[in-house]
Amino acid sequence: MSDRTRILIVLLLSTALLGEVKLNPFGDTFRFSLGIVAYFFGLLWFSVPVLSTGLLTGAFVVLFRIGVDLVTGHAGLFSSFVHHLPTFVFYLTFALSVRLLRLRRQAEYPIRVGLVGGAADIASNCAELFVRSLLVVSAPFTWKALLLIAMTGLLRSFFVVGLYNMLSIRQVRELGEWRKQELERLVLLNSSLYEESFYMRKLMDHVEKLTRETYRLYKKLIDRGLPEHREALRVAENVHELKKDLQRIVSGLSKLMKPTQAGDRLGIAELCRLALQANEAYAEARGRRIAFRLKADVQLFTNRTYALLSILNNLLSNAVEAIPEHGAIDLEAELEDEWLVFRVFDDGPGIAESERELVFAPGYSTKFSPDGYFSTGIGLTHARDIAGSMGGTLELLPGSEDGARFELRIPIGQLLRKGDANEHEAVSD
């Protein structure tokens, strides 16, 4: 069964059932019910064909009411058919009105939709009363009756429009929240890509130097007439191929990072919140009960989002891993003269003074993998190198024996970068 068929069945049943919630203002032959509320809402909310749905709804409601009369013994088959046939005219007229007035194209204008829907309701009631007066004895059609029909039609129409807009606003908010979370996820992902691309570029520089050195070696071997020059040439060629492959990888990483415009200009406080949010999830995944505290009253913006997030994520994730079961992590951001200063504190086991100079050395680590092996300890080295590329510093503060205390200092002039130029500026709020 297709989705459209399911929607149609729900629409028919809800219209028929709510049609039994009724008032009979002109005697027993004519009713005001909530059936049209369900039908009108269905036309606005779902993408169903208007005319065919109107025909099916009118026919189904008539059959449903005839069935109710036969089950309850209220009337015979023929008299019940004649009694309820004008209801078919009501739904058909409503569908025609909605189609002719192109009501669904005006869904973004609530007042206009309410007025048009009310007019369609009034026209449909008048058509039903007219047909009913031809088939059965009914109350005379008066101006008071018309006024009551108009008031009821507008009331039902604006009730539907209000419900439709309330649900639409909720849907838009949920979609907006989902998009916000998705953008945050992409920003954090791009910060990781930035770190990888940063070191791929650094590796490219080394490979470029290695290419020049191997080529110089090749030239020396030729000048000395040594047969090993062919092997040196093959090494130089292989290194050159490696450099080209690295260039393609870096180019691909750069393209992956470009579509996310959320990182183009982000507030420092929001950037800190993103970093904490990511590491709250990390702490929860590792079974740590950690209280994260943020203090960032800095009204500055940056487009160096990925670089800063890479450093902060490294510091915060290290703090999470350092805390055995439960503890607290603080992230602070403040201005000091021409510097933006970040500080990350944790109440883990800390770092001994004797190891202070080794913290940023490649290979140093105090962490073990689940298999009992030492972690590589490359992260802080990477973080310090990224800070250095921005003209900043990353250092371990004194007093870290009772809990690690790291400080990241970035020049304010490096927070906003224009294009690929070397000019930088910071903008305050």
The 10s digit of each residue's pLDDT in 401-417 is: 778 899 999 999 888 76
Total domain count, the chain: 3
Q: Are residues 333 and 415 in the same domain?
A: yes
The 10s digit of each residue's pLDDT in 21-59 is: 888 777 667 888 888 999 999 888 888 888 889 999 999
- Give the side-chain half-sphere CA count within 13 A for 328: 5
pLDDT value of residue 427: 41
Q: Are residues 240 and 355 in the same domain?
A: no
Determine, yes or no, domain membership for 326. Answer: yes
Determine, yes or no, domain membership for 258. Answer: yes
Q: Are residues 302 and 215 in the same domain?
A: no
The pLDDT of residue 368 is above 60: no
Q: Cβ(379)–Cβ(364) under 8 Å?
A: no
Mean pLDDT score, 314-327 = 88
pLDDT value of residue 96: 92
What's the whole-number average pLDDT of the chain? 81
CA distance 354 to 356: 6
Q: Are residues 307 and 289 in the same domain?
A: yes
The 10s digit of each residue's pLDDT in 285-302 is: 888 899 999 999 888 888
Determine, yes or no, domain membership for 55. Answer: yes
- The lowest-confidence range among 211-215, 229-233, 358-362, 393-397 is 358-362
Q: Cβ(336)–Cβ(412) under 8 Å?
A: no
Q: Are residues 268 and 246 in the same domain?
A: no
Q: Are residues 255 and 325 in the same domain?
A: no
Helix (H, G, I), strand (E, B) or coil at 329: strand
Determine, yes or no, domain membership for 39. Answer: yes
Confidence tier at 310 by pLDDT (50, 70, 90) = confident
Q: Are residues 252 and 293 in the same domain?
A: no
Q: Are residues 319 and 364 in the same domain?
A: yes
Strands (E), 15-150: 22-23, 32-33
pLDDT value of residue 277: 84
Which of 262, 279, 309 represents a domain boundary (last residue)?
A: 262
Mean pLDDT score, 132-137 = 78
Q: Are residues 258 and 275 in the same domain?
A: no
Q: Are residues 394 and 273 in the same domain?
A: yes
The pLDDT of residue 275 is above 60: yes
Q: Are residues 329 and 216 in the same domain?
A: no
Q: How far is CA 73 from the centre of its chain?
A: 56
Confidence tier at 339 by pLDDT (50, 70, 90) = very high
Helices within 103-142 (DSSP H only):
110-135
Determine, yes or no, domain membership for 242. Answer: yes
Q: Are residues 268 and 402 in the same domain?
A: yes
Which of 233, 262, 291 represents a domain boundary (last residue)?
A: 262
Determine, yes or no, domain membership for 160. Answer: no
The 10s digit of each residue's pLDDT in 155-192 is: 999 999 999 888 888 888 888 888 777 776 776 666 66
Determine, yes or no, domain membership for 168. Answer: no
Confidence tier at 429 by pLDDT (50, 70, 90) = very low
Confidence tier at 83 by pLDDT (50, 70, 90) = confident
CB atoms within 10 A of CB 46: 14
Question: For 47, which DSSP code?
Answer: -
Determine, yes or no, domain membership for 197. Answer: yes
Confidence tier at 421 by pLDDT (50, 70, 90) = very low
CATH number at residue 392: 3.30.565.10
Helix (H, G, I), strand (E, B) or coil at 367: coil
User: Domain residues for 10?
Assistant: 3-141
- The pair of three-digit structure tokens given for residue 200, joined into one six-digit string: 């791929």
- Give percent above pLDDT 70 in the chain: 84
Q: Cβ(389)–Cβ(349) under 8 Å?
A: no
Query: What are the CA-CA distances from residue 416 to residues 128, 301, 411 (Å)?
Result: 69, 7, 10
- The pair of three-digit structure tokens given for residue 282, joined into one six-digit string: 């990390």
pLDDT value of residue 375: 36
Which of 227, 262, 297 represents a domain boundary (last residue)?
A: 262
pLDDT value of residue 420: 41
Helix then strand count (H, E) for the chain reads: 10, 12
